[in-house]
Structure 1
Amino acid sequence: IDLDRYTTLFKQDSIAKQQVDTQAALVRQYEGMIRTDQSAIDNAKLQLTYARITAPIAGRLGLRLVDPGNVVHASDQNGIVVITQLEPVAVVFTIPQDSLPAIMRTLKGAQKPGVEAWDREMKTKLATGTLITVDNQIDPTTGTVKLKAEFANPDGTLFSNQFVNTRMLVETRKDQTAVPSAAVQRGAQGMYVYVAKDDNTVTVRQVKVGPVDAGLTEIDGGLQPGERVVTDGVDRLREGAKIETAQRPNLDAPPPGGGKKGSRKKGSG
């Protein structure tokens, strides 16, 4: 304001030019002080942002690794807390290499195959997801290949490093013969089973096996529906050996003590 007034007075020849120059220099000095103060304010705001740490990802926080009051640095090895991404979460599992062609055919379809995650005892389904990728090599030691499925996990049921069982519907085969996987043995000539004959002796039967699921192995050839196979003690058997057939427990028999037989509701599947 003073500079404008002095400039007006100078134009009217009321004051000397030196007074105008002095006032202009004073204005520039004050403007420099303002810029210096603004720089200090900006630096203080920057330092204040360092007091708030923003996570680069969304996830679940673990237990803190440092206590309040400790001094932390960007170069610290352990950090402050571990964040684990759980939405979505990935599950890695393996399948036999013989099942890989069918899965690859399904993966190339319009819809990605669904994958279910179950608990250790295969009694409770935890989540449902989709298969997203297949590893590019087979483990020669185990003859398996790794697959990765992704689960939305909105309720946080699945945790990092949690052990789960997986089930994936690759294809539906109708009217197939299946036997307990314990009955299928591997020999020098391939896969075989011990078939129990009517006289309770056994004979070796070469079979062609298919997919394995839930403790059952599909038999694609060598065995007819209704034939009996041996599941226990097969390591002690030989061609023509005599066996004793174990009777399955009668689930409809009344309990000891004359109790009443309970009713069972038949579910739809």
Structure 2
Amino acid sequence: MRATFPLILCALLVTCLAGCGRKNDAGGASAPGGAASAPQAQNVSVMQVGQADVPITVEASGTVTALQSVDLRAQTTSIVAQVLVKDGQNVKKGELLFRFDDRGDRAGLEKARAQLARDRASLSDLERQLNRAKELKGQNFIAQSAVDTAQANFDAGQALIRSDEAAVQATQVTLGFNELRAPISGRVGIVSVYAGSLVQANATALPLVNIAQLDPIAISFAVPESQLGALLSATRAGELDVEALPPPGSAPGAVAIKGRVTAVDNLVDTSTGTIKVKAEFDNKAQALWPGQYLRVRVTLRTLKGVTVVPQAAIIMRGTEHSVYVVGPDNTAKLVPVQLRFSLGEQAVVDGLDATARVVMDGKQNLRPGTPLRIQGPASGASRPASGTGK
């Protein structure tokens, strides 16, 4: 037992010495291992920063409305004698559209004129009586009261003449109601009466026809109240352009119709948080129709020569924004930027050099100083688009 103890102690000593030797070998090989742990190049795709003039726009849904629209109704109760207009016809202001049976009104006018002629004859006789009374009074043949009576009769006769003349004018006005003319130029709708129909002077009755002005024409739309300041500033600066976008189902190649903003409402709708805007468009081709629903785009202003990058290149950390750019030594460089406007897939930023190349795909694996292996241009459009300011 005593002989085996020294042998065990020697074996333990040999084992310790062997472990130390392996440790020293590992320590000697640590230098090559440290060199291998240096950052490896990352595969990325990049895109060149763009410089462009960017229009700042607002899009909204609008409804086409006629600048003028009139419902024509009869102002007299009569029978339709003639219908001189057809469905969908274009008419000019003052053009005769309907004639009503005017025989009764013409007879009334002749009666009023006859009454006027009779009372004018009576007035002439009263004037002669007044002059004779004045002569007799000058010769003291009659009293002053007789002259006063003759004067009163003559004044009453003059008043009666004025009443008869007013009656003639009133009858002429009533007679004029038997001809219905176009109060505005435009396109008529569907005619709802025919010759022989009875029409009545009733404000609640069905209109005979509607006339709508189609050229020029208007579009009413609403924009968010957050854009009110920019909208008012743009209108004060001059004429504000607006485009009516082709409606769904338009023919291929259809282009937007250009117009101008003519009015901004005087209050914000508190229930929707929007404000109404009205724009006017030339419509000689009658591409716009009252009641039509479409989208409009208002250009509030244009940013000249701004820096545009893809939205996908921007890294957001809270309220901070940054992008990775390709450094001079072909390594990743994190650059903070200020986001000015969002433009769909593009964004206008400040803080980037015009010659910078931003990293698109692969940025999630990058750290500042990471070597880059550029694979090619990033997918996605690099063309700046119109957008709404934040």
TM-score by length of 2: 0.38
1:32 aligns with 2:118: yes
- Contact 1:113 1:131 (C-alpha < 8 Å) held by counterparts: yes
- Contact 2:337 2:349 (C-alpha < 8 Å) held by counterparts: no
Structure-2 separation of matches of 1:71 and 1:182: 70
Structure-2 separation of matches of 1:137 and 1:42: 46
- Secondary structure of the 1:169 match is strand
- Secondary structure of the 2:199 match is coil
Match of 2:195 in 1: 68
- Contact 1:131 1:148 (C-alpha < 8 Å) held by counterparts: yes
Alignment map for 1:41-52 (pairs within 5 Å): 48-52=175-179
Per-residue displacement from partner, 1:31-56 (whole Å, max 9, x unpaired)?
63999xx9999888655533321233
Following TM superposition, by how much is the alpha carbon of 1:173 offset from its aligned partner in structure 2, in angstroms? Answer: 1.3
- Contact 1:118 1:164 (C-alpha < 8 Å) held by counterparts: yes
Following TM superposition, by how much is the alpha carbon of 1:65 offset from its aligned partner in structure 2, in angstroms? Answer: 2.4
Cα RMSD of the aligned pairs, angstroms, is 4.9
Structure-1 separation of matches of 2:120 and 2:254: 68
1:219 aligns with 2:348: yes
Match of 2:231 in 1: 103
1:82 aligns with 2:195: no
Structure-2 separation of matches of 1:182 and 1:162: 37
Change in 2 beyond 3 A, CA 1:155/1:96: same
TM-score by length of 1: 0.52
Structure-2 separation of matches of 1:113 and 1:153: 18
Following TM superposition, by how much is the alpha carbon of 1:117 offset from its aligned partner in structure 2, in angstroms? Answer: 1.8
Per-residue displacement from partner, 1:167-190 (whole Å, max 9, x unpaired)?
333322134345678999x99x56
Change in 2 beyond 3 A, CA 1:147/1:41: closer
- Contact 2:313 2:358 (C-alpha < 8 Å) held by counterparts: no
- Aligned-pair identity (%): 28
1:152 aligns with 2:238: no
Q: Larger radius of gyration, structure 1 or 2?
A: 2
Match of 2:293 in 1: 163
Structure-1 separation of matches of 2:278 and 2:216: 13
Match of 1:120 in 2: 247
Runs of 4+ in 1 over 4 A off after TM superposition: 38-48, 139-143, 177-184, 189-193, 195-198, 221-226
5+ unaligned residues in a row in structure 1: which ranges?
1-28, 199-204, 231-239, 242-246, 250-269
Match of 1:55 in 2: 182
Match of 2:126 in 1: none
Match of 1:176 in 2: 306
Letter in 2 for 1:83: I
5+ unaligned residues in a row in structure 2: which ranges?
1-114, 122-164, 327-335, 366-377, 381-390
Per-residue displacement from partner, 1:84-122 (whole Å, max 9, x unpaired)?
22233221123344433333222112x312222221259
Higher helix share: 2
Following TM superposition, by how much is the alpha carbon of 1:160 offset from its aligned partner in structure 2, in angstroms? Answer: 0.8
Aligned length: 198
- Contact 2:242 2:297 (C-alpha < 8 Å) held by counterparts: yes
